Amino acid sequence: MTKQIRQLDRVVIRFAGDSGDGMQLTGDRFTSETAQLGNDISTLPNFPAEIRAPAGTLPGVSSFQVHFADYDILTPGDAPNVLVAMNPAALKANLADLPRGADIIVNTDEFTRRNLAKVGYQVSPLEDDSLAGYVVHPVALTSMTVGALTEQDVSKKDAERAKNMFALGLLSWMYSRPYQSTIRFLERKFAARPELVAANIAAFRAGWNFGETTEDFAVRYEVKPAKMQPGTYRNITGNAALSLGLVAAGVRSGLPVFLGAYPITPASDILHELSKHKRFGVLTMQAEDEIAAVGAALGASYGGALGVTTTSGPGVALKSETISLAVALELPLVIVDVQRAGPSTGMPTKTEQADLNMALYGRHGEAPVAVIAPKSPSDCFHAAIEAARIALTYRTPVILLSDNYVANGSEPWLLPEVESLPDLRVEFATAPNGEDGVSFLPYLRDPQTLARPWAIPGTAGLEHRIGGLEKADKTGDISYDPANHDFMVRTRAARIETIPVPDIEVEDPDGDARVLVLGWGSTYGPIGAACRGLRQRGLSIAQAHLRHLAPMPANLGAVLRAYDRVVIPEMNLGQLAHVIRARYLVDTIGYNQVRGLPFTANELETMLEEVLKNV
């Protein structure tokens, strides 16, 4: 059958089903296929928080959204053009996000009376008029998959599990995706069980062939490759990019990297990834708790390694005493906080930006640290290297504030040339530094960085006292002298405040904008997409983004005062806005939501349009 081929510039697809339906794997494979074709990509996985939610219920719905285009994109898309719903729960949980006219591919085999009742459907939405505004494609995914595998040496249960590969084959055909990488992936994944390799490949090809032959899909679509900077790319998640950034920091510094971590959503993937890189001098330890994890990391830094600990908000609270100890000891330490919705356990698999206050102030006493926030999945690589650079150069803890949206999302990453990465080599103290030529002064500071010497334990002649009690300037002796304590507190604060960071850059194409939108962290994409939409409609607006949150760029105050209005969208109740008001005496307009979901570009564009009308 000859099918019409239609060109599109962008598509948003969401795969949704039960936790056991393999939607994350399906979305990941479709993303990999799309990356090979050269489209720009942004993804948004959405996991249920319940480990074993009852099958077919709303709390158990898992989804994966992928946005791909023939131009550069900034977000995973506001609303899906296509929803693949593997059961009634997946349909009901996602229907409100669909625009009218969207395509819905429904696994009709799962729309049984029992499954409908689980989610409150009295009548199947496939049989009434509730889906009249959408283009519905009923497909018996389960039974067709089982039928396609009748000659395969697998059980009926294993055959049914392959229905996600049938769906992937169908969508790969619909959007003209290359599939060779998926075949190779299945061969690797099930290498120990050849019968599953054959079954999943057969299911994938059955879905592809179904699209080719059925009359229900009369159109096939193509999205041409995006024009991107020349180079080698790979699709990467934020957690993977952050992990590779830490590996690169170890290589460029010549130091072993030690990760002390306790598993916690959504940071655990960093532990998993770093454990694969022992050949680069990376040592990982899964500790018994968060306190042990950060203590081991700080001990590693004391011993001359790049100490790293990874966690989320609840773990940072437990680590705070040891982070304060690192401040007092003036040793490098990288603390990765992949933020999630709180307080307490909150919503472990949902995103939020509510740990900023804790990162800036959440320690006892005056214990300032540097704070950096990556803006996108691929930026996590460079943010990790920057965090390591500051920690090693200035002998300070650095908090790296990622979040669930950035950590689990993915996008194309341009692999950098190794030579372009900063030189992070450090010089350890190897000889006495006292005026007498024989004594060692552990708190004699570098006049430029205010960093103290880093002496590896066991170095002859450089024995010195460590611990949490206040130290005397230069000698490091225990001191309760009021003037010395005041001096040491102010010096530690000055060491952070005087760290040189790049000036904040403003995107103001017309040069006449009166409104500035200021973001930090993962709001970069939605803010950028919203500002792009406004400019395409002839409205003038400026955008700036903070990567360094402590210290802040030296020119930030002047930038803020250059605009009539400053709008700060945050996935919290206004934490950055409060800091900006207090430090720069500049009023701000906060746009705040804590829904566990990232902003959409459309909602920000609508809000900003109202601000522009009232300037």
Same domain, 252 and 338: yes
**Does 264 lie in the same domain as 201?**
no
Percent of the chain at pLDDT > 70 equals: 100
Same domain, 55 and 152: yes
If asked whether residues 391 and 480 sit together in one domain, one would say no
pLDDT at 3: 80
Nearest residue to 411 via CA among 8, 1, 34: 34
Domain finish residue from 417, 438, 462:
417
User: What CATH number is attached to the domain comprising 32?
Assistant: 3.40.920.10
480 and 533, same domain (yes or no): no
Distance set, CA 514 to CA 202, 355, 510, 541, 612 (Å): 59, 30, 11, 7, 8
> What is the chain's length?
615
Does the pLDDT at position 399 exceed 70?
A: yes
Which tokens go with 131? 């889906």
pLDDT in tens, 265-301: 999 999 999 999 999 999 999 999 999 999 999 999 9
Retrieve residue 193's tokens: 């069980």
The answer to whether position 402 is within a domain reads yes
* Residue 135 near residue 103, CB atoms below 8 Å: yes
DSSP class of residue 44 equals E
| Distance in angstroms (rounded) separating the CA atoms of residues 399 and 521 | 13
Distance of alpha carbon 325 from alpha carbon 182, whole angstroms: 49
- Residue 517 burial class via C-beta count within 10 angstroms: exposed 0-12, middle 13-18, buried 19 and up: buried
Q: What is the 3-state secondary structure (H, E, C) of 134-189?
A: CEEEEECHHHHHHHHCCCCCCCHHHHHHCHHHHHHHHHHHHCCCCCHHHHHHHHHH
- Could you tell me the pLDDT band of residue 1, with boundaries at 50, 70 and 90? low
With H, G, I as helix, E, B as strand and everything else as coil, classify residue 310. Answer: strand
Q: What is the pTM of this model?
A: 0.95
Rounded percentage of the chain residues whose pLDDT exceeds 90: 96
Assess contact for 580 and 26: CB atoms under 8 A. Answer: no
Give residue 392's identity as a one-letter amino acid code. Answer: L
Cα–Cα distance for residue pair 444/426, rounded to 1 Å: 17
| Contact yes or no for 13/28 (Cβ under 8 A) | no
Instruction: Specify the pLDDT at position 19.
Output: 86
The domain boundary, picked from 417, 448, 469, lies at 417
Of 330, 324, 328, 333, whose CA–CA distance to 470 is shortest? 328
The C-alpha atoms of residue 356 and residue 362 are separated, in whole angstroms, by 9
Establish if 422 belongs to a structural domain: no
Predicted confidence (pLDDT) at residue 2 exceeds the cutoff of 80: no
Q: What is the pLDDT of residues 400-414, one digit of tens each?
A: 999 999 999 999 999
Residue pLDDT, tens place only, 142-170: 999 999 999 999 999 999 999 999 999 99
Residue 199 lies in a domain: yes
The residue segments making up the domain with residue 120 are: 4-223
Please write the tens of the pLDDT for every residue from 22-57. 999 999 999 999 999 999 999 999 988 887 788 899
264 and 190 together in one domain:
no
250 in the same domain as 291: yes
547 and 485 fall within a common domain: no
For residues 511 and 494, membership in a common domain is answered with no
Note whether residue 228 is domain-resident. Answer: no
Residue 318 placed within a domain: yes
As given in the structure block, the two tokens for residue 413 are 């990453």
Question: What domain count does the chain have?
Answer: 4
What is the CATH classification number for the domain harbouring 253? 3.40.50.970
- On the question of a cis peptide bond just before residue 343, with omega within 30 degrees of 0, the verdict is yes
pLDDT tens profile 469-512: 999 999 999 999 999 999 999 999 999 999 999 999 999 999 99
Mean pLDDT of the region 191-213? 96
In this predicted model, what pLDDT tens digit does every residue of 337-389 receive, in sequence order? 999 999 999 999 999 999 999 999 999 999 999 999 999 999 999 999 999 99
**Rounded average pLDDT over 397-426:** 97
98 lies in the same domain as 212: yes
* Cβ–Cβ under 8 Å, residues 118 and 146: no
3-state secondary structure of 108: helix
Domain boundary among 223, 250, 281: 223
One domain, residues 490 and 512 = no
Measured in whole angstroms, how far is the alpha carbon of residue 181 from the centre of its chain? 25
Does 249 share its domain with 217?
A: no
pLDDT at 49: 83
